[in-house]
Amino acid sequence: MSDEEKLATIQGEFERLNNANHPVRNAIETLDSVEEVAIIKKSLEK
């Protein structure tokens, strides 16, 4: 696979996963609502 083909594959997958209706995107957007994630995020703000 050429570099251009690899890049096109990566871009295509990014667009697919970044679709507003895709469950992966929705899960990432709501990740902050998980208490453990909020604790870790807060600890990194220091």
Q: What is the pLDDT of residues 1-46, one digit of tens each?
A: 999 999 999 999 999 999 999 999 999 999 989 999 999 999 999 7
At residue 5, the pLDDT reads 98
The reported pLDDT for the residue numbered 2 is 97
- Per-domain boundaries in the chain: 17-46
User: Which pLDDT score is estimated for 46?
Assistant: 73
Phi–psi pair at 6, nearest 5 degrees: -60, -45
Q: What pLDDT sits at residue 17?
A: 94
pLDDT (0 to 100) of residue 18: 93
